[in-house]
Amino acid sequence: MTIKISKTHQKFAYRLKDQTALEYPERFLGPNWKNVLNFWFYLDTLSVEDFEIVYDRYWDLDDLSAIKNLAWKAVKDTIEYYNANEAWCATAGIATRCATCELIGSHNLKSLNFLPLFLNL
């Protein structure tokens, strides 16, 4: 059986230096791992123009520093710091990094601020 793996998931496993992250992502990404992997697959479908729209939306957010801190705290409260840092680094661009953190720790957040930036592209 062949498993499809996103570019970001491949980079995440490479950065961890642990290929079991490809077979058992739940061990590394926490309880919301399916949502994270689906998001990473979605990222593979976006065009340069789509990312430009996302980044324009990102810079238009209110209280950017505060909501980034909430996303980072949520991810650190969910998975080990090392895994959180590697998930952050595996994802290209600040908006995708923040959305990934939000998804990993979404069960610890009252609302999502970064994921909606990727809607209706």
The domain locations on the chain are: 7-118
Residue 100 has pLDDT above 80, yes or no: yes
Task: Name residues whose C-beta falls within 8 Å of residue 91's C-beta, 6 or more positions apart in sequence.
Answer: 8, 40, 43, 97, 100
Largest CA distance in the chain: 45
Q: What values do phi and psi take at 12, rounded to 5?
A: -60, -50
Cα 57 from Cα 75, distance rounded (Å)? 22
Query: At 4, is the pLDDT very low, low, confident or very high (cuts 50, 70, 90)?
Result: confident
DSSP 19: T
Residue 99 has pLDDT above 80, yes or no: yes
What average pLDDT does the chain have?
94
Interval 28-43: pLDDT, tens: 999 999 999 999 999 9
Angle, CA 120 vertex, CA 76 and CA 112 arms, to 5°: 25
Q: What is the pTM of this model?
A: 0.92
